[in-house]
Amino acid sequence: MASLPFGFQLINLFAAVLLLLAFAMLAQRRVVTLIDLFAAQGFTLACSTAVVAYTTSQPHLYESTALTLLLKVFLLPWLLHRLVRRLDVRWEFEGLINIPTTMLIGIVLVVFSFNLALPISQLASTVTRSTLGIAMASVMLSFLMMITRSKALPQVIGFLSMENGLFFAATSATYGMPMVVELGIALDVLVGMLILGVFFFQIREQFDSLDLKHFEKLKDTGHE
């Protein structure tokens, strides 16, 4: 196989880092570290978008790089850190499934995602098509993280990192969505985060904890 130009190698490297970070998030128990990992994921995403923008000369991708950098590296992690400080939840203990098992399920999911992405990436004309499998894998891994965590904050970080994966998928399959849509998505993510901030305080006020194990009361037969 002929060696790829340096730019594309860099994109592949960033994609690999993204996947590693997704696994790291899956294994991480400390909330503060989890937020830092999320910021690192955002930063990698921004870097790879910038490289794609440079190598393929797609000027609108610079704008989305700036948007990613601002929103996912600075604003959201800052908001999350603030929440952690104000809510005073530093530690997270056991997930619902232990970590080695989660990692094994994660590997199966990665294989599955690569198979799912294969037919699409063959159709893609972008230089970044080989990273589509990684994008799907990070979506799946974030999804797994949401399922296996019982606390509110890690679930939300999983949700946000799923959005990162989707964004990466959009960049690698089509060089990003139209700007108006990207702005709309960014607005939704930001508003969602703010609403969640309010929501956390409400949950804490009622339950004295952010552990969702208290949430077992709503069943089909009502809760008399």
Partner 1 sequence: MIEIVLVLALPLFGAAVLALIGHRAYAPAVNVAVSLGTFLAACALTLGVIEGGPLLVLGRQFLIDPFNVFLVVLTAFVGFTTAVFSRPYMRIEEQHGRLTAARLRLFHSMFQLFSFTMLLALTTNNVGILWVAMEAATLTTVLLVSLYRTPASLEAAWKYFILCGVGIAQALFGTILLYFAAEKLLGAGGGALLWTELNAVRADLEPTVLSLAFVFLLVGYGTKVGLVPLHNWLPDAHAEGPTPISAVLSGLLLNVALYAVVRCKVLVDGALPGAFAKNLMIAFGLLSVVVAAFLLSRQKDVKRLFAYSSIEHMGIITFAFGMGGPIANFAGLLHMTVHSLTKSAIFFAVGHAAQKTGTQLMDDIRGLITTSPVVGWGLALGTLAILGMPPFGVFASEFLILTTAMREQPWATPFLLTALGVAFAAVFSKVQPMVFGDTTAARLPVRPAMMPVFVHLSLVLMLGLWIPPFLADWYRVAARLIG
**Chain residues that interact with partner 1, rule: CB under 8 A:** 119-120, 123-125, 139, 143, 146, 152, 155, 159, 162-163, 166, 169-170, 173-175, 177-181, 184-185, 187-188, 191-192, 195-196, 198-199, 202-203, 205-207, 212, 214-215, 217-218, 220-224
Closest to 167 measured CA to CA, from 71, 86, 68, 74: 68
Select 23 or 159, whichever has its Cβ closest to partner 1: 159
DSSP 119-188: HHHHH--STTGGGHHHHHHHHHHHHHHHHH--BHHHHHHHHHHHHHHHHHHHHHHHS---HHHHHHHHHH
Select 3 or 102, whichever has its Cβ closest to partner 1: 102
Which residue reads 């309010």 in tokens? 198
What's the closest the beta carbon of residue 97 comes to partner 1, in angstroms? Answer: 18
Which residues touch 196 (CB under 8 Å, ≥6 apart)? 156
Helix (H, G, I), strand (E, B) or coil at 211: strand
Residue type, 143: F
Residue 187 near residue 67, CB atoms below 8 Å = no
What's the closest the beta carbon of residue 56 comes to partner 1, in angstroms? Answer: 11
What's the closest the beta carbon of residue 21 comes to partner 1, in angstroms? Answer: 18
Residue 84 near residue 151, CB atoms below 8 Å = no
Select 13 or 112, whichever has its Cβ closest to partner 1: 112
What's the closest the beta carbon of residue 220 comes to partner 1, in angstroms? Answer: 6
What's the closest the beta carbon of residue 170 comes to partner 1, in angstroms? Answer: 5
